[in-house]
Structure 1
C-alpha cells in the first residue's frame, strides 16, 4: 500500500460513518453520545465491534463542537490523515531490498506529542517502519502530524491488533527484538544493534508491558547519572535510535 496525504477530517452522522467504515477508511476514533438507540445505531455498533474501532462516550456539547453544530445524530468520527501499511508486506519489502531491518514498536504510547516526536526521530534515523497497536495508542491526528514536522507522511506506520502479533511476525523473519526497559542490568552499549532489529518502547506510565518483556531477545537500559529516575519516552527513543545509527555507521 502506498501512503498518501489526506485532509484531516471529521465526519458526522451515523449513516456517513457506517459508509466510511464499509469503504475501508482508516478511522482513528468514533465519538458517541450516551444513550444512543435505534436500528441504525445498532448497525454502526456492530461494525465498530467487527472492525475493532476505538470509541469514546462523550457529552453532546463535544459532538456539537466536533461537527460545528451540524446534524451529527449523536456520532462523529475522526478519519486518519494517513493510510497504514501492512506489516508482513513491509517486512518482506525491507528484506528484499537487502537492507538491515530496523523497526520501532510503540507499546501503547498515548501522548500525541511524544508520538509525533518519535515519528520525526525515526524518519531521521532510517527506521523502516513504526508499529503501533490499534487500541490504547495515540492517534495520528493534526497534532501528531505537526509535531512530527510532516515525517508521518514519509515513514511507514503499521497498525496491529496487538504488539505480540508484530513480535511473532518479526521474529519469524529472524529480526531480533530489544526492549528499552529499566528492568535489566544490561546497558544499551552492551547490545549489538548492527543486525536485523526491532526496538520496543513502552508507554509513558508503565513502560513495556511485562508480557512483552517475556518475548523479547534483549533488554537494555540507558545509564542515568542524575537523580531523576527516567527519561521522557521520545528522548529515550532518540538515544536508542542514534546508538543504532552510531553502530551501523561505524562498521561501514
Structure 2
C-alpha cells in the first residue's frame, strides 16, 4: 500500500533515489528554502504537487515533524509507454489500450482497472496531473488487479495519442457527442479506447486527435453513465467482437 514519508530530508532523498512518488503535499503557508528545492526536483520529475492547509499535513504525518511537506510513495511501479509499445510490437495479436483522460474518482479508477485486467487490456494510460491518486482504496477496489496490468503515467494525453498512432494503434474516443454506436465500429484491430473524466468528459484536444468517436445507447431519462460502467460495456464489446 501507499507509504507516507514526511520531512524535508526524507522527501528530498526519495526524489533523488527515483522512488515512485504518487503525490507531494505542501503546507500552503510554508515557503522554506528546503521545500523550494524539493518542488524544483518534483517538477522536473513530473511529480504531482498539492498545496493544502497545515491541518491536512498534520493528519497525513500523524502529527510527526513534517516541516510542512509530506509525500506518498506509490504502492505500484509505473511503466514507460514507449517501452510498452515497443515490447507489444513484437507480437502479432491485436493490442487493446485504455486511456483515462482525467478520471479522478479513486473508486471509479479502481473499478476500471479491475475490468480492464479481466478483459486483457495491454496497458492503462493516464495523465500525471488530474488523475486519481494510486492509494489503498484504489488497490482495494481493483481487488488487486492493479498489480497485474501495466499502468503508464504520461505528462500529456496528446503525447500518448501521438505515440500510439505512430505504432499503428487506432484511437477511439467514447463520447455522447459521437454519431456512431460502439456496436457499429470495428474493434478487432489494435485500438486505444479513450474514456473521459466524470465531470468534463474527454478533453477537446484528445477528441480532436482521436481517429473515431463512439457512444453507448441511452434510452432512459439519465443522460450519461458512470464512467466505470460505460468503460466496462465498451471493453466487453471489444471482447465480443474478438471472440
TM-score range, shorter chain: over 0.9
Which of 88, 112, 116 matches 1:94?
88
Q: Distance in 1 between matches of 2:222 and 2:17?
A: 48
Q: Deviations over 1:78-114 (max 9, x none)?
A: 1110010011111121221222110000001000000
Q: Is the 8 A contact 2:35 2:69 kept in 1?
A: no
Please report how far the alpha carbon of residue 35 of structure 1 lies from its aligned counterpart in structure 2 after TM superposition. 2.5
Which of 47, 60, 63 matches 1:53?
47
Question: Which runs of structure 2 are paired with 1:104-119 in the superposition (5 Å)?
Answer: 104-119=98-113
Matched, 1:216 2:210: yes
Question: Which runs of structure 2 are paired with 1:14-53 in the superposition (5 Å)?
Answer: 14-53=8-47
Q: Deviations over 1:180-229 (max 9, x none)?
A: 00112111011001001000000001111111111111100000111110
**Which residues of structure 2 form unaligned runs of 5+?**
none
Question: Which runs of structure 2 are paired with 1:107-186 in the superposition (5 Å)?
Answer: 107-186=101-180
Please report how far the alpha carbon of residue 57 of structure 1 lies from its aligned counterpart in structure 2 after TM superposition. 1.8
Residue 245 of structure 1 aligns with which residue?
A: 239
Residue 3 of structure 1 aligns with which residue?
A: none
Q: What is the DSSP-based 3-state SS (H/G/I as helix, E as strand, rest coil) of the residue aligned with 1:96?
A: coil
Please report how far the alpha carbon of residue 38 of structure 1 lies from its aligned counterpart in structure 2 after TM superposition. 2.8
TM-score (norm 2): 0.97
Q: Is the 8 A contact 2:29 2:53 kept in 1?
A: no
- Structure 1 residues 85-94 or 235-244, which shifts more? 85-94
Q: Deviations over 1:120-174 (max 9, x none)?
A: 0000000000001010011111111000000000000001101111100000011
Q: CA RMSD in A?
A: 1.0
Q: Is the 8 A contact 2:21 2:71 kept in 1?
A: yes
Q: Distance in 2 between matches of 1:30 and 1:89?
A: 26
Q: Distance in 1 between matches of 2:94 and 2:201?
A: 26
- Structure 1 residues 63-72 or 29-38, which shifts more? 29-38
Q: What is the DSSP-based 3-state SS (H/G/I as helix, E as strand, rest coil) of the residue aligned with 1:82?
A: coil
**Which residues of structure 1 form unaligned runs of 5+?**
1-6
Please report how far the alpha carbon of residue 37 of structure 1 lies from its aligned counterpart in structure 2 after TM superposition. 2.7
Please report how far the alpha carbon of residue 69 of structure 1 lies from its aligned counterpart in structure 2 after TM superposition. 1.3
Question: Which runs of structure 2 are paired with 1:53-72 in the superposition (5 Å)?
Answer: 53-72=47-66
Residue 68 of structure 2 aligns with which residue?
A: 74
